[in-house]
């Protein structure tokens, strides 16, 4: 996934330093970014990435006081949750870089990280960074939503749980409609169920579920659903009016979030949003969610400021008002978030470790020239 840096702009703060020593080391894992301008044409931008026990700090200074013009890159170990000694990556960046920057870190809130540098050249009391990518914290999970499911199936369930529920409702597995998405070191599976039959014997009522990844490095992890969809060609013999189906959606899922479609968006407190087509933007980068229906295969961005996201469409016969199609999907950002971190973090962690070992392992003596 491409990382989008969010930079904040602040005035220069007083140069005095106030030490911050936390009793418990904060969780500094993630990709953090932020920036400052001084109103005199000076600018400095920071990027910090920490995965497991290795970190990387970058700063890009433009006419920034004693730092002047420089693009600088450092690696460091994370020891007992705290940043260790920073070593410059001399193979990256240009300009006069700090020989040995040093900082402490604190988490004033779930979305922010505060760095305090011991180097007066930084000329900032504190550097505030936003959490563009960070691990999912179960303590920050959105409020559970009772009754927000599709035929009793919802994200967070395992394949076994879903199969048991659907089999009791006479849905059979349809392996010929399954899909597998292949990535580096992991796969994402999409499973299908169906019942009913059209003139060609194909199911008319289909359920599709996308699961979290199966990882080569963690085969014991049990995937859970991230997206549940139902694609139903409603038989004429059922005689369901379109208005009846719309009313049924409102009874089960609450008021729709706008007057254009049948979508429902819920915030992380479990409240339905009104007059909204999307959730509020947050600091964390949106996550890519895969989904599958009988007539649709795709991916979409999902904001972690959402709780659950329900998208629904009711097709009707214009001549009779009878409901002909129901397409409905339920997506949850929390299992997506946890899965994204476990997969992106695995590959990014390997990159950081190789970089750290390469930089700190370059200890050979200078050659004769």
**Tens-place pLDDT, residues 8-54:** 333 332 222 233 333 568 899 999 999 999 988 999 999 999 998 99
Burial of 219 (0-12, 13-18, 19+ CB in 10 A): exposed
Q: Which of 80, 142, 82, 70 is nearest to 106 (CA)?
A: 82
Please report whether residue 366 resides in a domain: no
The three-class DSSP label of residue 161 is: helix
What single-letter DSSP state applies at residue 82?
E
pLDDT of residue 1: 39
Q: Of 79, 107, 135, at which residue does a domain stop?
A: 135
pLDDT of residue 251: 97
Please report whether residue 356 resides in a domain: no
> Do 56 and 179 fall into the same domain?
no
How many other C-beta atoms lie within 10 A of the C-beta of residue 230? 21
Query: In whole numbers, what is the pLDDT of the chain averaged over residues?
Result: 90
The three-class DSSP label of residue 355 is: helix
Please report whether residue 18 resides in a domain: no
* CA 124 remoteness from chain centre: 31
Euclidean distance between CA atoms 123 and 304, whole angstroms: 34
> Do 177 and 58 fall into the same domain?
no
Mean per-residue pLDDT for 298-306? Answer: 95
> Do 122 and 158 fall into the same domain?
no
pLDDT of residue 361: 79
> Do 161 and 267 fall into the same domain?
yes
Euclidean distance between CA atoms 160 and 209, whole angstroms: 12
Please give the share of the chain, as a percent, with pLDDT higher than 70.
92
Please give the share of the chain, as a percent, with pLDDT higher than 90.
84
Q: Of 135, 168, 185, at which residue does a domain stop?
A: 135
Q: Of 135, 154, 174, at which residue does a domain stop?
A: 135
Flag whether pLDDT at 219 surpasses 50: yes
> Do 146 and 126 fall into the same domain?
no
pLDDT of residue 83: 93
Please report whether residue 343 resides in a domain: no
Flag whether pLDDT at 172 surpasses 70: yes
Euclidean distance between CA atoms 324 and 327, whole angstroms: 10
Please report whether residue 255 resides in a domain: yes
The CA-based angle 301-340-76, given to 5 degrees, is 125
Flag whether pLDDT at 63 surpasses 70: yes
Euclidean distance between CA atoms 27 and 109, whole angstroms: 11
Please report whether residue 359 resides in a domain: no
Euclidean distance between CA atoms 167 and 212, whole angstroms: 22
pLDDT digits (tens, 9 = 90+) for 89-109: 976 777 789 999 999 999 999
> Do 277 and 189 fall into the same domain?
yes
Flag whether pLDDT at 364 surpasses 70: no
Residue 70 structure tokens: 């420089």
Look up the domain containing 255 and give its range. 139-336
Please report whether residue 354 resides in a domain: no
Structural domains in the chain (count): 2
pLDDT of residue 40: 87
pLDDT of residue 96: 87
> Do 181 and 228 fall into the same domain?
yes
pTM over 0.75: yes
Flag whether pLDDT at 365 surpasses 70: no
pLDDT of residue 14: 27
């Amino acid at each position: 996934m491409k990382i989008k840096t969010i930079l904040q702009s602040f005035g220069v703060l007083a140069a005095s330093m106030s030490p911050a020593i936390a009793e418990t080391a904060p969780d500094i894992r993630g990709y953090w970014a932020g920036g400052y301008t001084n109103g005199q044409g000076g600018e400095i931008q920071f990027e910090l990435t920490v995965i497991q026990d290795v970190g990387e700090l970058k700063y890009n200074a433009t006419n920034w006081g004693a730092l002047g013009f420089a693009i600088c890159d450092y690696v460091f170990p994370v020891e007992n949750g705290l940043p260790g000694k920073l070593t410059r990556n001399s193979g990256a960046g240009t300009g006069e870089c700090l020989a040995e920057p040093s900082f402490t870190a604190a988490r004033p809130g779930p979305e922010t990280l505060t760095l305090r540098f011991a180097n007066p050249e930084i000329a900032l009391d504190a550097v505030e960074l936003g959490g563009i990518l960070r691990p999912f914290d179960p303590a920050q999970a959105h409020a559970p939503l009772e009754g927000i499911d599709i035929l009793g199936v919802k994200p967070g369930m395992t394949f076994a749980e879903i199969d048991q529920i659907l089999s009791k409702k006479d849905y059979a597995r349809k392996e010929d409609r399954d899909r597998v998405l292949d990535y580096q070191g992991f796969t994402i599976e999409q499973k299908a169920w169906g019942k009913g039959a059209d003139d060609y014997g194909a199911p008319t009522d289909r359920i599709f579920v996308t699961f979290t990844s199966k990882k080569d490095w963690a085969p014991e992890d049990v995937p859970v659903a991230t997206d549940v969809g139902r694609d139903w060609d409603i038989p004429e013999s059922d005689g369901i009016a379109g208005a009846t189906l719309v009313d049924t959606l409102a009874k089960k899922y609450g008021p729709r979030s706008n007057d254009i479609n049948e979508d429902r968006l819920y915030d992380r407190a479990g409240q339905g949003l009104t007059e909204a087509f999307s959730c509020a933007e947050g600091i964390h980068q949106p996550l890519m969610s895969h989904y599958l229906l009988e007539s649709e295969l795709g991916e979409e961005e999902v904001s972690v400021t959402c709780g659950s996201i329900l998208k629904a469409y009711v097709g009707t016969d214009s001549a009779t008002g009878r409901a002909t199609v129901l397409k409905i999907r339920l997506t949850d950002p929390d299992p997506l978030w946890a899965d994204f971190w476990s997969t992106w973090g695995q590959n990014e962690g390997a990159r950081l470790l190789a970089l750290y070992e390469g930089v700190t392992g370059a200890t050979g003596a200078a050659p004769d020239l």
